[in-house]
């Protein structure tokens, strides 16, 4: 139930601000709005105020603003069959005025993305310290694509598929957007440049590429409870946990899993203290069927608390970076560098909405910011049926210095509809493959 409520809320807000942009712009230039609807039929609630009917549909998968005189067949004709435009109809307005109406929907989504990101950042945030460090390999997972390609700890990754990567964040994005596709890594090893071919795996829900390399970082012990196993074994606050039973520990969740899986079983921990490695054997106590040491574990992070204006500026910067990644992904789909498996549809968005809602409003707002950015940019694509497609057609008419015939526009809109339909089939298929019991019914997978 939480998933459905969160999904309806997330999509409802994003669609509302999008359609509100169209609505306000239309009213501002004097266009009569016939209907403002959230969701699709059947209609749940409806009322009329002035010329406009306001309604909410039962299916929260979109919405629309219906304006008077949007298409030639809706425009009244005189006795001789000539078009008789009223001054408050869409087609009676200049191309500049129509452009304002069309563009304001996506613009409202982009502004919403910036506002939500700024709100989240204003609460204060912590990010892993390694994200903006150079990608020097700290550990390589056994039997991973990187291990099979000969990547070693200490290697400095210079490039992925010919694109320079100077931070772990850029490396993660470059690999993550190329699952199941062979890519060439540029590597600096012992002062000389070499290359390696590697195929990122996509063994995760959203098809994100991974080659199994990890940064040279380790979680640290923040606090030790007196009298519990960790204190009795000699672990101290500030210890860096390097390995458990010889297996490298990079992130805090790996250490938590290792402890939880060994109740009442001695485990050998390698810790770094005062610049020297120490071997400590500790036996987790059993608590509710899982192991417990009595320690607080934390990853190395850097925190910052921006002021309101700084948060807005940072929010804008982050969305510009996100926009670049979205366009990179779209171009990757065209050049076949990016897998279509990474595209998400309504089922995946619903799942993410429910998971984010369980984590709290900050996680939910972050998700909404990301979705709003995607919605705004995708609606600007020059695909007929979308806002960007209508703008593109008007631009072509402006260059040709004449309006296209109704037949030509219908063919363009049909082509756009087919393209959008193919995209919807793809994302819904992807969504279904992420549901384990449905995937088991697909013998070809």
Is the distance from CB of 213 to CB of 245 less than 8 angstroms?
no
Signed CA dihedral, 273, 274, 277, 281: sign only:
negative
In contact, 34 and 54? CB cutoff 8 Å: no
Rounded to 5 degrees, φ, ψ at 333 are: -65, -40
Rounded Cα distance between 25 and 386, Å, is 17
Q: Annotated catalytic residue: which of 19, 70, 169, 236?
A: 19
Among this protein's residues, is 337 annotated catalytic?
A: no
Would you call 189 exposed, middle or buried from its count of C-beta atoms within 10 A (0-12, 13-18, 19+)? middle
Q: For 375-411, give the DSSP string.
A: HHHHHTSS-TTSHHHHHHHHHHHHHHTSPPPHHHHHH
What are the phi and psi torsion angles at 40 (to 5°)? -115, 160
Instruction: Answer whether 355's CB lies under 8 Å from 206's CB.
Output: no
Tokens of 191: 């002062």
Angle at 131 between CA 126 and CA 134, to 5 degrees: 150
Nearest to 445 by CA among 432, 248, 256, 218: 432
* Residue that is written with structure tokens 């890594």 in the block: 185
- For tokens 């613009």, the residue is 107
The full DSSP string for 430-443 is: HHHHTSHHHHTT-T
CB atoms within 10 A of CB 10: 24
Catalytic residue numbers read: 19
């Amino acid at each position: 139930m939480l998933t459905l409520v969160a999904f309806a809320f997330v999509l409802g807000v994003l669609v509302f601000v999008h359609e509100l942009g169209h609505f306000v712009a239309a009213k501002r230039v004097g266009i009569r709005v016939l209907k403002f609807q959230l969701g699709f039929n059947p209609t749940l609630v409806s009322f009329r105020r002035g010329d406009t009917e306001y309604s909410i549909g039962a299916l929260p998968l979109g919405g629309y603003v219906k304006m008077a005189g949007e298409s030639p067949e809706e425009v009244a004709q005189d006795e001789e069959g000539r078009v008789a435009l009223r001054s408050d109809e869409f087609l009676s307005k200049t191309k500049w005025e129509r452009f304002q109406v069309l563009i304001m929907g996506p613009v409202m989504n982009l502004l919403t993305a910036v506002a939500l990101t700024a709100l989240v950042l204003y609460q204060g945030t912590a990010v892993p310290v390694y994200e903006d460090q150079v990608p020097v390999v700290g550990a390589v997972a056994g039997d991973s694509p990187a291990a099979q390609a000969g990547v070693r700890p200490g290697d400095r990754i210079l490039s992925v598929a010919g694109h320079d990567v100077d931070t772990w964040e850029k490396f993660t994005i470059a690999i993550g957007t190329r699952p199941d596709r062979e890519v060439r890594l540029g590597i600096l090893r012992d002062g000389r440049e070499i290359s390696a071919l590697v195929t990122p795996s996509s063994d995760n829900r959203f098809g994100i590429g991974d080659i199994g390399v990890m940064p040279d970082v380790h979680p640290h012990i923040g606090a030790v409870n007196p009298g519990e196993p960790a204190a009795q074994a000699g672990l101290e606050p500030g210890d860096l946990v390097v390995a458990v039973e010889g297996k490298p520990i990079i992130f805090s969740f790996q250490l938590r899993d290792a402890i939880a899986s060994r109740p009442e079983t001695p485990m050998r921990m390698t810790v770094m203290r005062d610049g020297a490695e120490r071997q400590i054997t500790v036996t987790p106590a059993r608590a509710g069927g899982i192991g417990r040491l009595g320690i607080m574990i934390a990853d190395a992070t850097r925190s910052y608390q921006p002021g309101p204006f700084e948060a807005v500026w940072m929010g804008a910067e982050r969305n510009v970076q996100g926009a670049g990644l979205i366009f990179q992904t779209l171009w990757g789909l065209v050049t076949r560098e990016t897998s279509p498996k990474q595209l998400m549809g309504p089922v995946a968005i619903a799942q993410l909405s429910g998971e984010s809602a369980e984590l709290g409003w900050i996680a939910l707002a972050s998700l909404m910011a990301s979705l709003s950015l995607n919605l705004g940019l995708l609606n600007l694509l020059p695909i007929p049926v979308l806002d960007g497609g209508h703008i593109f057609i008007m631009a072509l008419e402006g260059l040709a210095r004449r309006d296209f015939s109704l037949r030509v526009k219908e063919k363009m809109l049909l082509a756009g509809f087919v393209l959008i339909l193919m995209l919807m089939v793809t994302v819904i298929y992807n969504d279904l493959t992420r549901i384990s019991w449905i995937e088991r019914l697909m013998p070809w997978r």
